[in-house]
Structure 1
Amino acid sequence: MTLSSLLLHPVRLRVVQTFLGRGELTTAALGRHLADVPSATLYRHVNALLEAGVLEVVDERKVRGAVERTLVLRTARASLGPDEAAAMTAEEHRRAFAVFVAGLIGDLDRYLARGDQDLARDRVGYRQYAAHLTDEEMDDFVADLRAVIEPRLELAPGPGRRRRLVSHVLMPDAD
């Protein structure tokens, strides 16, 4: 199985995204975060990610006669590199983007299902901008985004901190 087909399955993508910003998770904690995924399905996909080296077991302990594993995401194995992305067909990119967008819709649905949503209070937003940039200006823009985002990815959970999802899409206009 290619890395792209492994990662671009909706359940496996959610498993990977659940680890982002969380560090280690036990299998029980992962199950709580993905409560809408049946346990057997979740464990099957976790095992596929373990076999591929995307997840790693960092601890095991007995809990009521069963072995509970503590897992960590191996971030370097959890994303496609430029060579893998370049090798994908147009149809594979369409499927990958559809899985990505469906994941965003699912995230919003789960947020809205809480019933207490307040987009202003929770700092929820989505919008699209259009900018006229040369390739060099676009490279600078991406570097600027990284400079803003990356230090914040290192912040540990703590009082007043809430896990927030930041997603972005960059593409040229079709014309």
Structure 2
Amino acid sequence: MDTAALLLHPVRLRIVQAMLGGRELTTADLVAQLPEVSPATVYRQVSTLADAGILLVVDEQRVRGAVQRTYALDVAAAQVSAQDIAALTPEQHRQGFTAFVAGLLAQLDAYLASSTSDPATDQLGYRTVALWVTDEEMAALAAEMSAPVLRLLNRGPGEGRTRRLLSTVLMPDRTTSPPPGGPGPHRAP
């Protein structure tokens, strides 16, 4: 099974998202983080991801006669190639995007349910802006946005650090066409 097919599954995608940021978690930890998913499903999907090399065993301990494994995400193995993306059908894109959005909603629900959530202090934000850009301008913007993210990507937990999730969605807007004479005046978002 290719990486795209593995990650199109909503529970497997949520497991991968939970592992981001260099986290090392046991299956029991993942069960606690995904309370709406049955433990049997979490165990089965962790096994599938481990068999595919997306999750790596980084520690094993005997707990009450059973072996408890701690996993880490192999980020390189979890990458979906441009070829895999190009081969997806429109329905597979819908399925993947639905799993992605469902994961975001579950993370937001868990955050808001916490007694310590403070959206203003925690800088919770979400927005959509429309940009009129050429393919070349979009590529340059993506490169400019990637540089500071890549500098922070490999930092682990530390004093004063909070694990934050940064999710992006970029897609052409096919619902409108440019007005005659161009896009009109620019207004800052």
- TM-score for the superposition, normalised by structure 2: 0.86
Q: Is the 8 A contact 2:57 2:69 kept in 1?
A: yes
Corresponding residue of 2:32? 32
Question: Gapped runs of 5+ residues in structure 2?
Answer: 177-189
CA contact (8 A) 2:22 2:73 kept: no
Partner of 1:75: 75
Alignment of 1:114-125 (within 5 A): 114-125=114-125
- The separation in 1 between residues aligned to 2:25 and 2:166, in whole angstroms, is 20
Matched with 1:97 is: 97
SS at match of 2:76: helix
Mapped partners of 1:18, 1:80: distance in 2:
17
| 5+ long unaligned stretches in structure 1 | none
What secondary structure sits across from 2:110 in the alignment? helix
Letter in 2 for 1:132: W
Q: TM-score, normalised by structure 1?
A: 0.93
State percent identity of aligned pairs.
51
Q: Choose 82-91 or 21-30, whichever is displaced more.
A: 21-30
Name which of structure 1's ranges 31-40 and 67-76 shifts more when overlaid on structure 2. Answer: 31-40
- CA shift at 1:70, angstroms? 1.6
In 2, Cα distance between equivalents of 1:115 and 1:131: 37
Q: Distance in 1 between matches of 2:109 and 2:29?
A: 21
CA distance in 2, matches of 1:150, 1:35: 31
Which secondary structure does the structure 2 equivalent of 1:68 belong to? strand
The aligned residue for residue 149 of structure 1 is 149
Which structure has more RCO (C-alpha within 8 Å, separation ≥ 6)?
Answer: 2
Q: Give the paired residue count.
A: 175
Provide Cα deviations, 1:18-57, integer angstroms capped at 9, x if missing partner.
Answer: 1101332233333333333322111100011011111121
Q: What amino acid is aligned across from residue 166 of structure 2 in structure 1?
A: V
Specify the code of the residue in structure 1 equivalent to 2:89.
Answer: T
Alpha-carbon shift at residue 2 of structure 1 (Å): 3.6
Q: Output the CA distance in 2 between the equivalents of 1:129 and 1:149.
A: 20
- Over alpha carbons, which structure has the higher Rg? 2
Aligned to 2:134: 134
